[in-house]
Structure 1
């Protein structure tokens, strides 16, 4: 019986550690900083625009796509930038919110959320994808990465 309990404990611990790894994505919040890193590493920039506290599709996409092991693995070949536009004023500093609004005004004139853009190291847009289906199918988003990050 002890062996069974020990095995179950070890399996649960391993699953928790694997899940913690995917939550350790290195999201930047400044596009200019991301551009410097992208130039140095010769990698594309993935910019994710979200309404973290009000946008239901954003929350689902975060859970299904960004928190997946597959995305975690692929993220090592990109510089990640998250631009959040929350409704609650206590989530971001006033300075960060003002910066995010400027970036959104430049790259998301349609004001659609969620939105993912692939940029080169100079900030030039190469590709974009908007929205997320309530069917929670991430295949379009992974196909988008395959097509635009190689």
Structure 2
């Protein structure tokens, strides 16, 4: 039941592939908490990387609060803050370190797939950004366009 709630919430702001990783990581944290004895509260903070359905890359800061009152009853609260990142600032090594750290509970092959997915989105962004910068001429090559005919008076009329 908890996994279904988390899954539905995460899919609202992450692509299908990215959501699966976030769900798996969250499931690992929740399982670790639920294996603890009743009467003790636990908190955990981590950050994850998300790719949204439009290819936007975001950092998710996740805060977990877990309290198990009895063996069959618990309280779970998740706070998620989503922040955009500038993909140009993320180099290959930094991305590898981030993916490895964010999803350290997952197996290596899965982390490689997540890395590849995010790297591809960053490359798409860089290509689009490069194409856009080529389309916009620099200041020296821009020409001013002058309207013909009388120009409006920019001075404000004042009553005396």
TM-score bracket, shorter-length normalisation: under 0.3
Structure with more of its chain in helix, by fraction = 1
Q: TM-score, normalised by structure 2?
A: 0.23
Larger Rg: 2
Q: TM-score, normalised by structure 1?
A: 0.24
Q: Which has the higher contact order (CA 8 A, sep 6+)?
A: 1
